Amino acid sequence: MDLIQNSDHDDLRAGVREVVERFDGAYWRGLEPDRYPEEFVAALTDAGFLGALVPEEYGGGGATLTEASVILEEISASGGNPSACHAQMYIMGTLLRHGSEEQKQRYLPGIADGSLRLQAFGVTEPTAGSETTRIRTRAERVPEGWRINGQKIWTSRALYSDLMILLARTTPFDEVEKKSDGISAFIFDMRDLPGLTINPIPTMMNHNTTEVFFDDVVIPADALIGDEGNGFRYILDGMNAERILIAAECIGDGRFVLERAVDYANGREVFGKPLGANQGVQFPLSRAYAQLCAANLVRFEAAAKFDAGEKCAAEANMAKFLASEASWAAANAALDAHGGFGFAVEYDIERKFRETRLYQVAPINNNLVLAYLGQHVLGLPKSY
Ligand SMILES: Cc1cc2nc3c(=O)[nH]c(=O)nc-3n(C[C@H](O)[C@H](O)[C@H](O)COP(=O)(O)OP(=O)(O)OC[C@H]3O[C@@H](n4cnc5c(N)ncnc54)[C@H](O)[C@@H]3O)c2cc1C
């Protein structure tokens, strides 16, 4: 079914499909509850898709964000889960835009050829989620470099990453004028670091997420990205990319569940007619389709603005909001359309239902997206 695709990027879509078709529902189901899809990530890397956003001069694909979003969409639309590798695409911007030339030379060629994975992004802490500026993890200058103490939570893929981008306070909250000051960003090799402990967190979908403890962990002085104290701004810069890419994943999720639901509703007969002939089954699917199509337009508009270097925060936020709501509506309607079989693991509907639900809460919850729109787009007072 040709569902809400625009005809651009046909070759790219076909190339991604060629790789992802090797990983069917049985593969993804077999990974649950928490196995990392090593084979899938290796295949994606070999095909050059994981290093797509690395500029060509560092050995990468030099792709636009629009193209990167198409790659993630196609993975989701195939029934796969790009969460195993999406962070590499959206956190790389911090390194690309604010890293030193020396840091780029050191890391980007390895990320491009797959010998280095940049998959761990340590921002959230047990007492600081939406309110990032409340992070307490400290980085202090010592003769050997930076000494890190503190705890991160929900650091996804930390057990499967070579590198981490970490946000830590270099000046305590109480000592800064602006609460976003005094936070610094670091990139470092997280393998075999004394004092670093990583524990998996079991979750309702396979996300390989963890909690990370820093107990007098020393990282090199040149791990600092850009200027000390400016890390919060560097990370914020990357948020638009993250939102657009997550929106694309949701569009892919929505395509997958809708295609499955339509096939099922056309094929199964109840009370002497196809299931889908009932408006109670058909209309929620139609509604979700309309929502997905609308979200998809905003997603491409946001991505085009991003690629043109234009301001796109409003569009990126709206794309993430609309797409995550639409994919959830689609998953919910697909579950209903499948009746009891929607709950059977082998249909992959309940898995996608769980996977796509995450994106209303993380990487940023939709309430904060609405707060952004209210305050910065509509000009309403700050609501928090
Ligand atoms: C599976 C998973 C993977 C993740 N991966 C990563 C990762 O790799 N790296 C990382 O750093 N973090 C990661 N996160 C963390 C994620 O970014 C946070 O969970 C998210 O930002 C919300 O923070 P919180 O959980 O502390 O919720 P809180 O900030 O405690 O908020 C709880 C709820 O309250 C509501 N809320 C909060 N503030 C407001 C407000 N001002 N107005 C209205 N409503 C509000 C929201 O609806 C929110 O869902 C992940 C989380 C999950 C679940």
Kindly report, residue by residue over 313-363, the tens digit of the pLDDT: 999 999 999 999 999 999 999 999 999 999 999 999 999 999 999 999 999
For 14-59, the pLDDT digits (tens) are 999 999 999 999 999 999 999 999 999 999 999 999 999 999 999 9
- For residue 6, pLDDT over 70 is answered with no
CATH 1.10.540.10 positions along the chain are 10-113
Among 83, 154, 235, which residue has the most ligand 1 atoms within 8 Å of its CB, making it the best to mutate?
154
Which CATH number, 1.10.20.10, 3.40.50.300, 1.10.540.10, 1.20.1260.10, labels domain 10-113? 1.10.540.10
Pick the atom of ligand 1 nearest to 158's CA: 8
% of the chain exceeding 70 in pLDDT: 98
Q: What is the pLDDT of residue 89?
A: 87
Q: Tell me the H-state helices in the chain.
A: 10-20, 25-31, 38-46, 65-77, 86-98, 101-113, 231-267, 279-307, 313-337, 349-357, 366-372
R_g of the chain computed on alpha carbons: 21
For 135-186, the pLDDT digits (tens) are 999 999 999 999 999 999 999 999 999 999 999 999 999 999 999 999 999 9
- Indicate if ligand 1 lies below 6 Å from the C-beta of 154: yes
Non-local (6+) Cβ contacts of 44 within 8 A are 19, 50, 75, 85
Contact criterion met (CB below 8 Å) for 306 and 299: no
Q: What is the pLDDT of residue 236?
A: 87
Q: What is the pLDDT of residue 117?
A: 95
Residues 267-276, mean pLDDT to the nearest whole number:
97
Neighbours of 214 (CB within 10 A): 23
Residues 4-21, mean pLDDT to the nearest whole number:
87
- Indicate if ligand 1 lies below 6 Å from the C-beta of 365: yes
Give yes or no for a cis peptide into 172 (omega within 30° of 0).
no
Which CATH number, 2.40.110.10, 1.10.10.10, 1.20.140.10, 3.40.50.2020, labels domain 233-377? 1.20.140.10
Non-local (6+) Cβ contacts of 281 within 8 A are 265, 275, 336, 337
Give the chain's mean pLDDT: 96
- Label residue 237 by pLDDT band (50, 70, 90): confident
Cα distance from N-terminal residue to C-terminal residue, the chain? 44
**In this structure, what DSSP letter does residue 144 have?**
T
Task: Give the 3-state secondary structure of residue 346.
Answer: helix
In this structure, whether the domain defined by 118-227 belongs to CATH 1.10.10.10 is answered with no
Atom 48 (ligand 1) nearest CA: 365
Contact criterion met (CB below 8 Å) for 253 and 355: yes
